[in-house]
Amino acid sequence: MDNLKLKAFIPLLYLVWSDDLLNQKEVATLHDFIVFQNWLTAEEKKLLLAKVAVSAPPAREVVADWKRQVETILQENISVKSIFDISILLAENDKIINDLRPAFVKLENDLGISGEEAITDFKTVAKTFTSDCETNHGFEIEKLTQILDGKQAAIIKKVKSIISRPEFAYETSTDTAVYREKVYVWCKILAAENLGNMGYPKQYGGGENIADYFAVMETLSYHDLSLVIKFGVQFGLWGMSIQSLGTEKHYSKYLKDIGSLKLPGCFAMTETNHGSNVKGLETTATYNHHKQTFTIHTPHEKAQKEYIGNAAVHGQMATVFAKLIISETDYGVNAFIVPLRDANSTILEGITIGDCGLKMGLNGVDNGTIRFDNVIIPKENMLDRFASINEKGEFESPIPSDNRRFFTMLGTLVGGRIGIPRSALAAAKSGLTIAIKYSDKRRQFGPEGGSEVPILNYRIHQRRLLPLLAKTYAIHFALHYVTNRFINKSESEMPEIEGLAAGMKAYSTWSTTAILQECREACGGKGYLSENRIDALKNDTEIYTTFEGDNTVLMQLVAKSRLSEFRKSFGEMDAMRIINYVYENAKTSISEKNPIATRKTDETHLLDEDYHLNAFQYREKRILASAAKRLKKLIDSGLEPYDAFNVVQHQMIDVAQAYLERIVLEQFQEAIQATEDPKSKEILVKLCQLYALSQIEKNKGWYLEDGYMEAVKTKAIRKMVNQLCWEIRPDAVSLVKAFDIPDSCLAAPIAF
């Protein structure tokens, strides 16, 4: 094609035969365009049409030559902005072509190849900011680790050194029996290191340090999670049930052997027919005053104890929850120590043990079922801190209500609802460490002609992982807060702390489930290989949202307790007065609800911590008030309260969620206040902003419905979330390194 006029068609011809830019219809459009150009001779038309004929493609070399010609033009003319700019230069400013500009531009539009983007097909090696972004070190990792570990740094260090030993190499056998024994051996090593009895009183050989006990649970969770749960069953559930529900005679008899793992045991509460509604347990403990014994009995198959950890293989005793019957009167659920096996592991008479078999995860824990066929135990085996039977054989308790007594007993076991969310958080940290380190190195795609780019440079990948990283930091501080509240609790604070623990258990474990899901997907095929451990992390923690209280049920409880707090403040106020009260209680919020504030989008405002906290508080109060109003309306209209609560269940979840989000943000902000190292503080502030704004973004439907924000603001928040992700990305690897998870625990090849 030496004809200058015809040269104008070169870029178009190239596009016909190069990458999949034009479809058949579009090629036909180009065909017609050529046919209708009167200034072309019949021969020229024929020549051009031959070059777009699907039946006779040009040689590969011809297409390559077209490309070279165009590339030369582009290299020599940086001002080129469109395909037509190339055409006119190839045609050496031929007048005919120049006059045809509108026709060519229309053609390019018709073919969808208008604008600058179309010419990138010809450009080689573009400089892009997406490629330039890379990991740097904006703060000292060790200092941030210190802030995270706090006062428990010493015990955390000790546990890490133990689980990094060669004997803690992960078990790779798929044989459940082998795995269970390995986990049991690990537990014995930990017991020998005095980690199991960390929470028990010193006089029974314990460490009397609950804060350290929780730190142990959390740190162990960087290792195998079956180990953590087996450990928690033995030293937490079994041991703590003795400590919390028993009295001196039980402590002196059992605690030392439990702490040393000489006496492995179980916590037998859940029954097949009663999981969430434990008040309805059906196992009976019938008192025989004459013989001074109890008879423990399973009335029917579905009343068997189920999912009981340590039951299938190792447990020698169990704390069994059963309805106490004295002279045919039911005194509600109480707790009893029941032997299951002798020291040779032989199952005792009257006890039937089943094996729960293979589970989705935690297969190193021997969960089983237990049935009792009129098993006789001595009177002293009743855990009698909250209720007892006197010399005359009469029931005695400082708490007359059976339900209330039972829930008081359960309240003493709330520690489990602190250990589990902290374990869940550790698993999330492992997953994020693996996924973020991998994403920083894994390259895929890149600018035309340039190198491939780390996938963490892609906005969508940042969006998937970095808000979750921020949330993980946020929950870390919130769980420390709950732990501290629990350790320093007074009796009167218990209802609040129980609510906090139940709520944070749900919040943290749901968060972990979502995080590990995202991590798996973010690691693609590599995330599916067991060697990279997201498999185990995900499947082991999957049940965290169910055990220690089903999350949905816990959220209902949290909401109900918020609601009863609320109603105690308001009593019989009418709807209008309630609303007014809420407004008064959120004065800063009101001032923000004027048209200027609801539309305020300057960066200083959007990143302002007070704005964040106000928005969270406002939402919490409004949702609570609205749920209360709705319930009242439903009940006033004649609904049974049971039905009314059913109708608003969905809103109740929101009540609890909004409460927990506020707590988490508040605690994150307070932790930052207390941070001294300026570089650590700086990055924590960014993470906190990202947590706050991504939660607001998630809830934008609510904020818009309420009128607290207008569209212009929620849109600005979306952009700000993107921007924060982009700004945090260079520090992302350092932020996961600050979790300081031992390499041997992390183990995943893709993380190194």
* Contacts to a second copy from residues 152-181, by CB under 8 A: 172, 174-176
Please, which of residues 338-357 interact with a second copy by CB under 8 A?
356-357
Tell whether residue 399 is a contact of a second copy (CB under 8 A): yes
Picking from 119, 114, 89, the residue whose alpha carbon sits closest to that of residue 102 is 114
Question: Is residue 17 involved in binding a second copy (CB under 8 A)?
Answer: yes
Q: How far is the CB of 112 from a second copy (least distance, A)?
A: 4
Structure tokens at 25: 């219809």
State which of residues 458, 608, 609, 613 lies at the interface with a second copy (CB under 8 A): 458
Question: Among residues 314, 476, 505, 520, which is the contact residue for a second copy, using CB under 8 A?
Answer: 520
Cβ burial 688-717 (10 Å sphere, 16+ → b, else e): bbbbbbbbbbebbebbeebebbbeebbebb
Give the residue, chosen from 35, 50, 96, 126, that forms a contact with a second copy under the rule CB under 8 A. 126
| Residue labelled with tokens 């004459």 | 290
Give the range of 2-10, 41-49, 610-618, 646-654 binding a second copy by CB under 8 A: 646-654
Per-residue interface string for the shown chain with a second copy, residues 127-156, x marking contact by CB under 8 A? xxxx--------------------------
User: 692, 577, 667: which is closest to 625 by C-alpha?
Assistant: 577
- Listing DSSP states for 611-626 in one string gives HHHHHHHHHHHHHHHH
Query: Can you read off the two tokens belonging to residue 403?
Result: 């339900």
**Cα 218-239-332 angle, rounded to 5 deg:** 115
Q: How far is the CB of 331 from a second copy (least distance, A)?
A: 7
Among 253, 704, 727, 742, binds a second copy (CB under 8 A): 704
By the rule CB under 8 A, 701 interacts with a second copy: yes
Q: Is 646 one of the binding residues for a second copy (CB under 8 A)?
A: yes
For residues 373 and 531, which CB has a smaller minimum distance to a second copy in the complex?
531
CA distance 657 to 649: 12
CA distance 680 to 735: 10
DSSP alpha helix (H) spans, 571-699: 575-584, 587-592, 595-598, 603-606, 609-636, 641-647, 649-673, 678-698
**Interface region with a second copy, contact rule CB under 8 A, candidates 151-159, 491-499, 582-590, 614-622:** 491-499
| Residues of this chain, 179-238, that bind a second copy according to CB under 8 A | none
Q: Which is nearer to a second copy, 257 or 547 (CB)?
A: 547
Residue 385 touches a second copy, criterion: CB under 8 A? no
Of the candidates 309, 361, 368, 454, which one interacts with a second copy according to CB under 8 A? 361
Q: Which of 135, 635, 679, 727 binds a second copy (CB under 8 A)?
A: 635
Among 368, 397, 123, CA closest to 270: 368
Q: Which of residues 558-597 bind a second copy (CB under 8 A)?
A: 564-565, 567-568, 570-572
**Taking the complex as a whole, how short is the minimal distance between the CB of residue 573 and a second copy, in angstroms?**
9
CB of residue 200 to a second copy, shortest distance in Å: 28
Q: Is 19 in the site for a second copy (CB under 8 A)?
A: yes
For helices 678-698 and 711-728, the axis angle rounded to 10 degrees is: 140
Kindly state the number of chain residues that form the binding site for a second copy, as judged by CB under 8 A.
135
| Residue 277 interacts with a second copy (CB under 8 A): yes or no | yes
User: In a 3-state reduction of DSSP, which class is residue 703?
Assistant: helix
* Cβ at position 637, least distance to a second copy in Å: 11
- Residue 204 CB, shortest distance to a second copy, in Å, is 28
Residues 6 or more apart in contact with residue 36 via CB below 8 angstroms: none
Binders of a second copy among residues 293 to 312 (CB under 8 A) are 306-307
> What residues between 423 and 452 interact with a second copy by CB under 8 A?
443-448, 452
DSSP string, 128-159: -HHHH------S-HHHHHHHHHGGGHHHHHHH
Ramachandran region, residue 371 (left: φ > 0; alpha: ψ -120 to 50; beta: rest):
beta
Select 43 or 491, whichever has its Cβ closest to a second copy.
491
Residue (of 245, 280, 282, 238) closest to 260 by Cα position: 238
